[in-house]
Structure 1
Amino acid sequence: MTLEQKAKIILEHLDTFVNVNWNFEKEYINAIMAGLVYIQEKERNENNVHTGISGSEL
């Protein structure tokens, strides 16, 4: 599943809790994708710490 597909699912579910202004859909999708990338990077760094791999070895 792509980041955009994941972001769209998140936005659709967010709309069930708050009133999403769909005129800004592209901006919301971009923001959610940026957050997903940030999470992936944090998880990758956490996994590298646990395995003893430094960033230079990747």
Structure 2
Amino acid sequence: MTMRPATSEIKKLLEEIYSRLLNEFGHRNWWPGETRDEVIIGAILTQNVSWQNV
């Protein structure tokens, strides 16, 4: 699959922003999941339920 130029430029920009933030502030360890599955399930749940229920 070939990425459109706009999409690849956005991807590069987001990666640059992420890299700069990571370098400046380090890993924040804010996500409570300990395993990959917990992180995935948590990400899905936070998109589909009220924050009061998370």
Query: What TM-score bracket applies, with the shorter chain setting the length?
Result: 0.3 to 0.5
Bigger proportion of residues as helix: 1
Higher relative contact order (CA 8 A, sep 6+): 1
TM-score using structure 1 length: 0.39
